[in-house]
Amino acid sequence: MNGKRVVFSPVTRLSGLLSVEVFLDKGKVAEANVSGTMFRGYEWIMRGRQLTDAVYMTQRICGICSLAHGAVSSYLLDKIFDNELTANAQYLRNIMYAADFLQNHIRHFYLFSLPDFVRMPPRPPFHRQDVADLRLSSHDNLRLAGHYAKAVKAAQQSHEILTLFGGKVPHQHSFLHGGVATAPTADKVNRALALCGEISAFVRNAMMPDTELIAGVYSDYFNIGVTPRRLLSFGLFKFGAKNERLWWPSGVTDDGQISVPDLQQISEHIGRSWFEDADNSVDGPGQKPAPQKPGAYTWVKSVTYAGRHFQVGPLARLIITGQYQGGTSTMDRIYARSLETLFLSELLSEWLKRLEPGPPPIHQKHQPVLSEATAATDSMRGALLHSARISGDTVTAYNIITPTAWNFSPKSAKGERGPAESALVGAEISKPDMLFTVLGRIVRSFDPCIPCATHVLSPMKPPSPVDMEQRNRPSQSSTFCT
């Protein structure tokens, strides 16, 4: 394996299409390039549309966590229209958002991550499972595998809570600018409380013990996939008439000191992304696709804060809010996500009890007071930002920065690796059949979601991932894994 270029493509059990290219040196990953191989054109799709379309259109970016885009676009419209939110509207919004978090986190742990550590039944959908490093006893393995189906039920119940108030899932229709268009009736609240009780019981009695067990048996992964301790969160769950208060505060930390994020410090770069880069812009000419661009290896743009890459997600949130004291490894990311699931199930129950049955808590203004604005919040996978410029009520420019763009950024203009690439570099591959096991566990711990959107098709094969400035190619040999 030494001296080989290895391409792991596609990386399975995640949303979208992702490829990983690594270069091995004496049994270690010496360099890594992560490649999002789907083009997302929603910034183009939004141009020329009415601003209020944003809540509906941008949810189509992803079917797994669509409410996240509906939420941040609603916050954006609240700012542009200068809406005022009632307390009931904010509780109802946050109930819906927390429910969507729960279904995502539960599905990630059991459907995406669990097969990395547990031997699953030899039947669909567990085709050709990687069994190179499965360590659980037969008794524990049987118990955790049995929780897979129960997790599907718990995720469904989370979606049912969202459907009660959002109308449908995915792509709900009631979390809008100005509040929520669905009436929180007493029967809906009681039904949601009952569902929340069952979800909470599953998280306490199954998900957390399962996470503890895996963290103990695979404790070496607390030292694998470690990233620099640069963390960022926009905060989570807005309250107040102007969305000015956060239940979980925002924060950014590089040296252990936590400060409030300054959105003006955020930059996107496309030097190694498949976009025209005459001016390295992310607006206008810079957004034109260029799938044959030399030196580029991904559709994901490089996102930096104050010129540096930052990790986002549940781990960043819990460390910044002081609810987790661990490190920044593969297992820390997995553990923090499960711990956040427990916290959210408790919050959801508390908020449902505070919600007052009554008419739809929505009060929309219809005359814009701003011609441009930016809104930010955390979503399931981390920091999410929408910004817009309008003329009248029509969008002239729209930009979206997703959590996966933060975590799966290609190398910056200075050559600094993004979080996922940093996590991969230095990983030890003890024996050949462990290669894709280790790579898969590290990558999936970020819960990557390569947004689903327009495909760019070409009769010519796009260039393979290349970074001429940051690596020395040991040889030309390659291994492709599906």
Residue 180 DSSP code: E
Across 6-20, 213-227, 325-339, least confident range? 6-20
Can you say whether the dihedral through the CA atoms of 331, 448, 52, 374 is positive or negative? positive
pLDDT tens digits, 304-316: 999 999 999 999 9
pLDDT tens digits, 227-274: 999 999 999 999 999 999 999 999 999 978 899 999 999 999 999 999
C-alpha–C-alpha distance, residues 201 and 210, integer Å: 13
pLDDT tens digits, 369-379: 999 999 999 99
| pLDDT of residue 1 exceeding 80 | no
Q: What is the pLDDT of residue 238?
A: 98
Q: What is the pLDDT of residue 457?
A: 39
| pLDDT of residue 127 exceeding 90 | no
Q: What is the pLDDT of residue 452?
A: 41
SS3 181: coil
* The residue type at 281: S
Q: What is the pLDDT of residue 177?
A: 97
When comparing pLDDT for 117 and 16, which is higher? 117
Burial (0-12, 13-18, 19+ Cβ within 10 Å), 469? exposed
| pLDDT of residue 280 exceeding 60 | no
| pLDDT of residue 206 exceeding 50 | yes
User: Residues 375-385: what's their mean pLDDT?
Assistant: 97
Q: pLDDT band for 455, please (50, 70, 90 cuts).
A: very low
Q: What is the pLDDT of residue 278?
A: 54
CB atoms within 10 A of CB 232: 28
Across 10-14, 49-53, 83-87, 97-101, least confident range? 10-14
Strand pairing of 478-481 and 372-379?
A: unpaired
| pLDDT of residue 475 exceeding 60 | no
Q: pLDDT band for 148, please (50, 70, 90 cuts).
A: very high
Give the CA distances from residue 378 to residues 244, 402, 473, in Å, rounded to whole numbers and listed in that order: 14, 10, 38
User: Residues 132-156: what's their mean pLDDT?
Assistant: 97
* Helix residue ranges, H only, 182-306: 186-202, 208-217
Burial (0-12, 13-18, 19+ Cβ within 10 Å), 281? middle
Give the CA distances from residue 373 to residues 68, 260, 366, 383, in Å, rounded to whole numbers and listed in that order: 18, 19, 16, 17
Which residues on adjacent β-strands are paired with residue 398? 388
| pLDDT of residue 153 exceeding 80 | yes
User: Residues 88-97: what's their mean pLDDT?
Assistant: 98
Q: What is the pLDDT of residue 240?
A: 98
| pLDDT of residue 340 exceeding 50 | yes
| pLDDT of residue 466 exceeding 60 | no
Element housing 259 (H / E): strand 258-259
Question: Any idea what the CATH number is for the domain that residue 243 is in?
Answer: 1.10.645.10
C-alpha–C-alpha distance, residues 20 and 255, integer Å: 29
Q: What is the pLDDT of residue 477?
A: 32
User: Which tokens is 267 given?
Assistant: 């930059």
When comparing pLDDT for 437 and 474, which is higher? 437
C-alpha–C-alpha distance, residues 319 and 358, integer Å: 37
Range of 1-5, 63-67, 175-179 with top mean pLDDT: 175-179
Range of the domain at 171: 5-481
Across 13-17, 281-285, 423-427, 430-434, least confident range? 281-285
* Helix residue ranges, H only, 309-357: 314-320, 330-354
Q: What is the pLDDT of residue 3?
A: 67
pTM of the model: 0.91
Q: What is the pLDDT of residue 287?
A: 67
SS3 231: strand
Across 285-299, 330-344, 378-392, 407-421, least confident range? 285-299
* CA-based R_g, the chain, Å: 22
Q: What is the pLDDT of residue 255?
A: 79
User: Residues 453-475: what's their mean pLDDT?
Assistant: 38
- Number of domains within the chain: 1
Pair 114, 338: CB distance under 8 Å:
no
| pLDDT of residue 368 exceeding 60 | yes
What mean pLDDT value characterizes the chain?
A: 90
Q: What is the pLDDT of residue 4?
A: 87
SS3 448: coil
When comparing pLDDT for 126 and 359, which is higher? 359
